Amino acid sequence: MESLGKRLASLNVSLSGAQTVIALTAGIVSILGALVAVPGYFKPSPDKGQIVTVIQEAKTDKSIRDATVEIMTAQNALITTLTPNFLGKARHSLEEGQYRVRVSHPKFAAELRQVQVIRGETTEIKVRLRSGASAPLRQAERLIDEGVGAIRRMFGQ
């Protein structure tokens, strides 16, 4: 009887080791399956295309997560406003066509891009924001300065 008890005890240890190997194998297969499936999850539907905007700081290439991404029609009608994820990426599915993408942030000059979305494809836009005022703001400041200068000249100051 003792021999049978020892055999059962050794069998139990073997089963425990086998169970561990099976569980680890199942876990690895599950993780690998998820890694294969995840990229397919982000593919655009066949009847739409996708815009992926990658926002970085120009000097450091650091991702900017708190920018505002506005997607507009070619006629400047706002479609949606997005906030980038922790990698500085913002993604949106759209019908095929021409769009405008404006990226803004209080610390950086705004950037505007024209983009063509193609059905079933992903269009990636890399936007590198630079410090300073945006071009329209600089132009407005220049016009104001010119206007003030003209008024001063008119009054002889």
- pTM of the full predicted structure? 0.57
pLDDT band at 6 (very low <50, low <70, confident <90, very high): low
Pairing of strands 78-82, 97-105: unpaired
- In terms of CATH, what superfamily is 49-139? Carboxypeptidase-like, regulatory domain (2.60.40.1120)
Q: Are 82 and 71 in contact (CB under 8 A)?
A: yes
In the chain, what are the domain boundaries?
A: 1-41, 49-139
Q: Give the pLDDT confidence score for residue 22 in this predicted structure.
A: 77
pLDDT tens string 140-150: 666 676 666 66
d(CA 123, CA 98): 12
Q: What is the 3-state secondary structure (H, E, C) of 39-77?
A: HHHCCCCCCCEEEEEEEEECCCCCECCCCEEEEEECCCC
Model confidence at 45, pLDDT cuts 50, 70, 90, reads low
Taking only the tens place, the pLDDT of each residue in 74-106 is 999 999 999 999 999 999 999 999 999 999 998
Cα–Cα distance for residue pair 91/153, rounded to 1 Å: 51
Arithmetic mean of pLDDT, 18-23: 73
Task: Fill in the DSSP letter of residue 33.
Answer: H
